Structure 1
Amino acid sequence: MMTMSCLRLHFLSVKLLCFAFASSILMIDALVVGLSTCHPDQIQALMQFKNEFDSRGCNHSEYFNGVRCNNTTGAVTKLQLPSGCLNGILKANSSLFGLHQLRSLDLSHNNFTSSSLPSGFGNLNKLKVLSLSSNGFTGQVPSSFSNLSMLTDLNISQNELIGSFPHVWNLTKLSVLDLSHNHFTGTIPSSLLSMPFLSYLELSENHFTGSFEVPNSTSSSRLETLYLGHNHFDGQILEAVSKFITLKDLDLSYLNISYPIDLNLFSSLESLLSVDLSGNSISAASLRSYSYFPLNMERLVLSGCDIGQFPNFLKTLHNLELIDISHNKIKGKVPKWFWTLPHLLVVRVADNSLNGFEGSLAEVLVNSSVQILSLASNNFKGPFPDPPRFINLLNARNNSFTGNIPLSTCNRSSFKLLILSYNNFTGPIPQCLSNFRIVKLRKNNLEGSIPDMFYVGASIQTLDIGYNQLAGQLPRSLVNCSRLQFLSVDNNIIKDTFPFWLKVLPNLQVLTLSSNKFYGPMSPYDQGPLGIPELRILDISHNNFGGSLPASYFMNWEALSLKMNEDGSLYMVYNKEAYKNVYYIYEDVIDLQNKGLFMEQVKVLTLYGAIDFSGNRFEGNIPESIGLLKALISLNLSNNAFTGQIPLSLENLTDLESLDLSRNKLSGTIPNGLGSLSFLAYINVSQNQLKGDIPQGTQIIGQAKSSFDGNAGLCGLPLEQSCFEYSVPAMQPKQEDKEEEEEEDEVLNWKAVAIGFVPGVLFGLAIVKLIASYKPEWLAKIIGPEKRKHR
């Protein structure tokens, strides 16, 4: 019987092994789909290259999508990795440098941080295209790059490279060169500008200095794109640039030239279509005269140029599609003729002193071709005109507009982003909120109720209507807005219970209900756990919420249980192909009480974890499960009626910067673990019933005395009361009680995972016992390395 059992187990093991092997073959087949022309040793080299790195961020099914091989030889000729695929150090002996037949190599947007550029790239001397941008490469560009004599395109932008200008002038076939966003220094070699095929040169965001010598004859130059912005060139460079008559796209922004730029220098550049002179002073005489720019100019950026009047020369630029004259000192009204430019699509006049529009408000904008319009931070007054018919994005934040939001706003089918915050608008909110992606109407005088007209599939992501005079209830149709990320209705007069029904929204990250008339419990029996999966900020302060919170209250707050390091800014891309690099960045803003002060917080979607329950009627113990929220930066439970002790689990919140438990009925001692929280810049436990020693951590003893006032039994710094003055030492808890408390804390912290963990452990132990009992050695040898490989 034993022999038969062993045979059965042996047969079963073989079947399992075969199944695993077949699965691996299928996985490899899936990876190499489309590589039928590649030689096996080339595929092996590609797999070896991938295995040199941490590739857990890789979409393995797409790894080989960017591979092409020669139909005859089977050699790899093109390799383009998916973005974010590889993490680690690119070593000098990497198998990559054995792919000698490569013609095109794109490793951009990976993470080779702390890697220098290996000289092995110089061995790939058949390369025509090489892109290494956005990888974190450090150090200098090796001289071996000069061996790449076949290169036509070289992009090493957005790294941490240093040193003088790389040795590229031997690359006589080079057409595109991008060195931008690095730390290169020194001057530009004149030989660079003599390269016969160079048409695109981007050197912006470096530390280049001086000027450069222009070849005696530029008639043979093919240079069409030249980006020199954000460097330290001197003024002589302007005259040198003006000799490249083939230029179409020119960026000279933020050169720190000590004198105003005379636009006459560009009169010879008849092919110029786009120019950026931002951050430089412009000659006033140039602005008063008619344009020195060619009449076919399409894109003009003069942001931050100390311009004091609306540029009249724009009247002649009938092909103008984008104009940016933001961050200047322009006063008065926007002239009527400006809106009649026939091809105008993008207008940025933000951060000036403009106060109105010339012409009839009913007609001034409505017939304009503008799609993106930024009027923010000016002095505009009075009613807002009807928006352009094809408007896509409107930002009129921080002005003094009055009256109702125009009804025609709802008749613009392409309208996606509406920002009218910080104005004096009155009347109701438009009924068409579902049509927008972003709506920001914060700090106006809007009244009535929030329209309950959100349809299934609504595209809205951000709805900020805080600081108005809105009443009624939260619209239940918000449950249809599955894309909603940010909802702020703070500082209104909304009367409702807590919206537990919002937990069906899979992307909601920020919810602020503060300073309204919300009421009722936060944990009713029939609603179950709150559990909004992506919630990072919850502010329900200064309402009439009450009741107690169960010990497990914070167990299902998934997003706040994980530390976050993403960038919270969002952007909307302007999708006209000619202006694919034109984008509009906005950041969601929220008012939060942090470190004892009310302040605006930006980039709140992913960088900030905060809970504010202050100014309500909560009672009972603070849930010990609060310690599970590892991503918390700010916690405010002040001005309630919480009792019991401060949870020991707070010491688990290692990123906590602000903790306010003041004005409650808390008793016992302050947990010593709070003294070890190195980021805790603000703590307030005043007006409670605490006693004993104040923990003497660096962050705590540096707090103001007022943070501990109103607790008659507290002693130690920063209070004047010394703990040695107490004649009776504090009672130490019995060892049995202490052990019992520790067991309860441990049970609480692990209760959340135990339900899912125990069955998995039991099943795993059963499998281990089965295999260990018979120990088929050949199976162990095969599974062992595979297991280590995927560790």
Structure 2
Amino acid sequence: MHSRSERMMIIWSSCLIFSLSFVFASPLAKHLCRPDQRDALWEFKSEFHFSGMAPNEKTQTWMINNTDCCVWDGVSCDLNTGNVVGLNLWGSSLNGSLRSDSGLFKLQHLQNLNLSSNNLAGILPDSIGNLKRLRVLKLYECNFFGKIPSSIGNLSYLTHLDLEGNGFTGELPESMGKLNKLTKILLSTSKLSGNFHHALLNLSELTWFDLRSNHLEGKLPSNMSSLSKLEHFDIGSNSFSGSIPPSLFMIPSLILLNLEKNSFTGPLEIQNISSSSSSPSRLDTLNLGGNNLNGPIPGFISKLVRLSYLDLSLWNTGKATVDFSIFSRLESLVVLDLSYLNTSSLLEVNLFSKLDSLAVLDLSGNSLKISWSLHLPSPMGSLSLASCNISEFPNFLKTQTDLYYLDISANRIGGKVPDWLWRLPGLVYVDISKNSLSGFDGPKDVIQMSQIEMLDISSNSFQDPFPLLPNSTRFFAAPDNQFSGEIPTTICELVSLDTLLLSNNRFIGSIPRCFKSLLTLLHLRNNSLSGNFPEESISVGLVSLDVGRNRLSGELPRSLINCTRLEFLNVEDNMFNDTFPFWLRLLPDLQFLVLRSNNFHGPIYSLGGGSPSFPKLRIFDISKNIFTGVLPLDYFADWSAMSSGVYTTDNKPERFMGFSFSNYHKAVVLAIKGSEMELLGNGFRMYKTIDVSGNRLEGDIPRSIGLLKGLIVLNMSNNAFTGRIPQSISNLTNLQSLDLSENRLSGNIPPELGKLSFLSLMNFSNNMLEGPIPQGTQIQSQNSSSFAENPGLCGAPLQETCGGGEEVDEVKEENDQVLSWIAVAIAYVPGVLCGLTIGHILTSYKHDWFKRIIHSFA
């Protein structure tokens, strides 16, 4: 008999043998990956190049000596068939376009595909529609462009489609309406255009629909409630118009509705919103801000008791009254934006004192009533009270210990800033601009002891002493004040400083030599700074530099060549004495170059390097210098940004953490018909201008100017240009201002200029032009001074009519005929003599000549 231990050993051995035999007999013991699937993956990988640096390059694990592709990183297989059913190469540094014959499309059993966050720059091929078993397709942030292929409608099993963050253009393919299993569509942050296809209403299973930040337009369908399972609907930052369909609010499952920053109009009339405890609306986020809505604010909003986020900003009530009490019933509110409602009602801020969860409140642009004893909820983190006609710092701010963002700009607050403000422990962002403040209460270092990161004190009456700022400061704006003396070197100790705006003060002396390399915006415009611009004061990270209207001299600092992110450079109205900075063309993002009113001299083209190529330039102003020479005919050939259509803006200021940069970011002075116009903020960005006036340029105006079809302003006056006005200027169909005065131009004004319908300001005076002034509404509406001092010009609006033109032409024609006959007569006598001579020669040699002819034919 076996002992107990021997019996146990036999049992365990038997179990082990059985288990091993099962393992080796099962599919898991084999290489799961089918050879054709492995080969397709290898082929797909070979189509791309890799940086070899990213830690998450999943294809690095695809080793040739491991033939089981089912264990490769990012690959998943069907355990029974060995087919690849999932491929997740998110952020795997794939570089190269996705080919229409890619090995990817041989993986016909794919159900889940994620190639997001790779550089697949190119068109998404139609072949994507061949992967007919796909359920999840994620291709966000891949740099795709072109149209979304209509073949995507073949993916009938698709439930999740994510293409956001690409450059897709054109309309949404109508075939998407066939994807009736879709639950999520994510197409935000692209360049899609066109209307909202009615076919999309067939997607009855849809729960998530995100089309924000595109160029879509038109009206929404009236029967939006067809999307009966919709929970998240976001079409913010588009150009949709018309009224908001009431049916949207009838979708019982809806949780988020974002329609902000469109062009929706009209009053909003919604009925039958349930407020019962048994079936209240599920709506948590409602964003209607930044539209053109008007009429009364609907009372149904008070029934949306689950709202935590509500934005009704820029609603135009037409100065009507508003019942603000409807908002006090929304006790779950965390974010409330009621800014700029255009109402005559006085808003009593104590209405919000019972909203215990309120963390973000924006009441800007309304008239407020703030009681001295007011207490708002302590969780308040962000408070905006700009343009509210406030005359003092509200007392309730003292208790807001969690406040990190405060905007009380554009009010009537005078005197000094109270020292208790800087003792609020969480305060990080403060905007007290556009008031009448003159100084700071408390000790000299009262601000320095705070945790402030962004401080805007611009457009006040602050005087010395200049405030000491904390080391945490990243953004400091103090333009339009009365600070004087030298710029304090204490600024140089701010190691985190990113933005410094000190324009329009009274600073003197030189620019400090200690600015840190982190600066991206440096604006010192309109002070009395002097001396050379120190090379070491140029931060390599600069995006915008404005030192215009000072007394700076010497040469432009060559260290600017290291600022590869530079977009804006303005040094106008100084005493710089330098040649044209050809080296700036090496800056890939330069859009605004203003050298106006200095002592720059010499040619503006390089004999060795040719014409400067500024592909992104929008504004080129080198006026009032001493530039000389002849411009090559192709001078403007490579200025591609000006060759495209006009830049348009939605007139909504750029914002960073709530701060508006519309008045600080950039300023440009344009010369239009002899007068100067200063453009601030986003306003000037729609302009594409060239101003070379007030120099000594000569020769022909380059014909390549006609390539710049986006030009709004062209000023080439007060030079020594000769020759004719190029007919190619008639291609500049967006041109609004044209000044060619005070040159030596000759010939006619091209008749085609009369067809430029936007050309409202023009000046051809003081040249040598001749002939009739072209007919056209815009030209004929000009003052006669626009054509003065051209002795040969005639026709309206000049008093010199061209009515005698036919007689003059007839006299000229007669004179021309006389001259022609005289020429004939003069040529006649020698002609006769010459003829007689030739006749004699032909007669003398006639016999031999005939012989030669006959011989040649023989």
Which residue in the other structure is 2:677 paired with? 599
- From the superposition, tell whether residues 395 and 214 of structure 1 become closer, same or farther in structure 2 (CA, over 3 Å): closer
- From the superposition, tell whether residues 519 and 242 of structure 1 become closer, same or farther in structure 2 (CA, over 3 Å): same
**Does the Cα contact within 8 Å between 1:187 and 1:208 map onto a contact in 2?**
no
Q: SS at the partner of 1:643?
A: strand
How well do the aligned residues superpose, as a CA RMSD in angstroms?
3.7
**Does the Cα contact within 8 Å between 1:179 and 1:203 map onto a contact in 2?**
yes
Which residue in the other structure is 1:256 paired with? 342
Write the deviation string for residues 3-38 of structure 1: whole angstroms up to 9, x where unpaired: xxxxxxxxxxxxxxxx9xx99554372798994448
**Does the Cα contact within 8 Å between 1:383 and 1:403 map onto a contact in 2?**
no
Which residue in the other structure is 2:294 paired with? 207
Which residue in the other structure is 1:762 paired with? none
Which residue in the other structure is 1:437 paired with? 520
Which residue in the other structure is 2:613 paired with? 531
Does residue 1:230 correspond to 2:314, yes or no? yes
Cα offset, 1:492, TM superposition: 0.4
**Does the Cα contact within 8 Å between 1:532 and 1:557 map onto a contact in 2?**
yes
Structural mapping, 1:148-227, within 5 Å: 148-158=227-237, 159-163=239-243, 166-168=246-248, 171-180=251-260, 181=262, 182-183=264-265, 185-189=267-271, 191-194=273-276, 195=280, 197-204=282-289, 205=291, 206-207=293-294, 209-212=296-299, 221-227=305-311
Structural mapping, 1:285-434, within 5 Å: 286-287=370-371, 289-360=372-443, 362-431=444-513, 432=515, 434=517
Which residue in the other structure is 1:639 paired with? 718
Q: SS at the partner of 2:247?
A: coil
Does residue 1:450 correspond to 2:526, yes or no? no
Q: Distance in 1 between matches of 2:132 and 2:648?
A: 30
**Does the Cα contact within 8 Å between 2:415 and 2:437 map onto a contact in 1?**
yes
**Does the Cα contact within 8 Å between 2:172 and 2:194 map onto a contact in 1?**
no
Cα offset, 1:137, TM superposition: 4.4
- From the superposition, tell whether residues 23 and 333 of structure 1 become closer, same or farther in structure 2 (CA, over 3 Å): closer
Structural mapping, 1:606-625, within 5 Å: 607-625=686-704
Write the deviation string for residues 633-686 of structure 1: whole angstroms up to 9, x where unpaired: 222222222233323332232222222122222222222222222222122121
Which residue in the other structure is 1:788 paired with? none
Q: Distance in 2 between matches of 1:264 and 1:179?
A: 29
Which residue in the other structure is 1:27 paired with? 102
State the AA in 1 paired with 2:184: S
Q: SS at the partner of 1:272?
A: coil
**Does the Cα contact within 8 Å between 1:295 and 1:319 map onto a contact in 2?**
yes
Q: SS at the partner of 1:436?
A: coil
Task: Give 5+ residue unaligned stretches, structure 1.
Answer: 1-18, 50-56, 735-791
State the AA in 2 paired with 1:593: A
State the AA in 1 paired with 2:343: I
Q: Distance in 2 between matches of 1:447 and 1:31?
A: 69
Taking every aligned residue pair, what percent have the same amino acid on both sides? 39
Q: How many pairs does the alignment contain?
A: 684
Q: Distance in 1 between matches of 2:499 and 2:301?
A: 46
Does residue 1:142 correspond to 2:222, yes or no? yes
**Does the Cα contact within 8 Å between 1:277 and 1:302 map onto a contact in 2?**
yes
Which residue in the other structure is 1:3 paired with? none
TM-score by length of structure 1 reads 0.78
Match of 1:590 among 668, 690, 699: 668
- From the superposition, tell whether residues 33 and 547 of structure 1 become closer, same or farther in structure 2 (CA, over 3 Å): farther
Q: SS at the partner of 2:483?
A: strand
State the AA in 2 paired with 1:227: D
Q: SS at the partner of 1:279?
A: coil
**Does the Cα contact within 8 Å between 1:162 and 1:185 map onto a contact in 2?**
no
Q: SS at the partner of 2:473?
A: coil
Match of 2:576 among 478, 487, 494: 494
More displaced stretch, 724-733 vs 407-416: 724-733
Q: Distance in 2 between matches of 1:703 and 1:215?
A: 58
- From the superposition, tell whether residues 707 and 33 of structure 1 become closer, same or farther in structure 2 (CA, over 3 Å): farther
Which residue in the other structure is 2:777 paired with? 698
Structural mapping, 1:265-304, within 5 Å: 265-283=351-369, 286-287=370-371, 289-304=372-387
- From the superposition, tell whether residues 88 and 505 of structure 1 become closer, same or farther in structure 2 (CA, over 3 Å): closer
Q: Distance in 1 between matches of 2:132 and 2:295?
A: 40
**Does the Cα contact within 8 Å between 2:401 and 2:424 map onto a contact in 1?**
yes
**Does the Cα contact within 8 Å between 1:254 and 1:278 map onto a contact in 2?**
yes
Q: SS at the partner of 1:226?
A: strand
More displaced stretch, 153-162 vs 646-655: 153-162
More displaced stretch, 538-547 vs 594-603: 594-603
Q: Distance in 1 between matches of 2:674 and 2:197?
A: 48
State the AA in 1 paired with 2:732: L
Q: Distance in 2 between matches of 1:243 and 1:222?
A: 10
TM-score by length of structure 2 reads 0.72
State the AA in 1 paired with 2:489: L
Q: SS at the partner of 1:44?
A: helix
More displaced stretch, 207-216 vs 306-315: 207-216
State the AA in 1 paired with 2:679: Q
Structural mapping, 1:62-73, within 5 Å: none
Which residue in the other structure is 1:247 paired with? 333
**Does the Cα contact within 8 Å between 2:146 and 2:167 map onto a contact in 1?**
no
State the AA in 2 paired with 1:417: T
Does residue 1:98 correspond to 2:178, yes or no? yes
Write the deviation string for residues 705-762 of structure 1: whole angstroms up to 9, x where unpaired: 111111222211111111234553296999xxxxxxxxxxxxxxxxxxxxxxxxxxxx
**Does the Cα contact within 8 Å between 1:507 and 1:534 map onto a contact in 2?**
yes
Cα offset, 1:274, TM superposition: 1.4
**Does the Cα contact within 8 Å between 2:309 and 2:333 map onto a contact in 1?**
yes
**Does the Cα contact within 8 Å between 1:165 and 1:188 map onto a contact in 2?**
no
Q: Distance in 2 between matches of 1:140 and 1:23?
A: 34
State the AA in 2 paired with 1:264: N
Q: Distance in 2 between matches of 1:706 and 1:34?
A: 76
- From the superposition, tell whether residues 401 and 492 of structure 1 become closer, same or farther in structure 2 (CA, over 3 Å): same
State the AA in 1 paired with 2:409: S
Match of 1:667 among 716, 740, 746: 746
Q: Distance in 1 between matches of 2:190 and 2:608?
A: 48
Cα offset, 1:458, TM superposition: 1.5
Cα offset, 1:594, TM superposition: 1.8
Q: SS at the partner of 2:757?
A: coil
State the AA in 2 paired with 1:105: I
Write the deviation string for residues 412-466 of structure 1: whole angstroms up to 9, x where unpaired: 23211221111112222233264311111111111121121277x9211111100
Q: SS at the partner of 2:229?
A: coil
Q: Distance in 1 between matches of 2:761 and 2:302?
A: 62
Q: SS at the partner of 2:508?
A: strand
Which protein shows a greater Rg? 2
Cα offset, 1:199, TM superposition: 2.3
Q: Distance in 2 between matches of 1:621 and 1:433?
A: 46
Q: SS at the partner of 1:448?
A: strand
Write the deviation string for residues 522-571 of structure 1: whole angstroms up to 9, x where unpaired: 23524432223333322221112223333343334343334443659998
Q: SS at the partner of 1:95?
A: helix
Which residue in the other structure is 2:788 paired with? 709
Cα offset, 1:607, TM superposition: 3.3
Q: Distance in 1 between matches of 2:570 and 2:525?
A: 9
Cα offset, 1:590, TM superposition: 0.9
Does residue 1:554 correspond to 2:629, yes or no? no
Q: Distance in 2 between matches of 1:608 and 1:34?
A: 53
Which residue in the other structure is 1:629 paired with? 708
**Does the Cα contact within 8 Å between 2:302 and 2:327 map onto a contact in 1?**
no
Q: SS at the partner of 2:576?
A: coil
- From the superposition, tell whether residues 315 and 554 of structure 1 become closer, same or farther in structure 2 (CA, over 3 Å): same
Q: Distance in 1 between matches of 2:637 and 2:545?
A: 28
State the AA in 2 paired with 1:636: N
Q: SS at the partner of 2:693?
A: coil
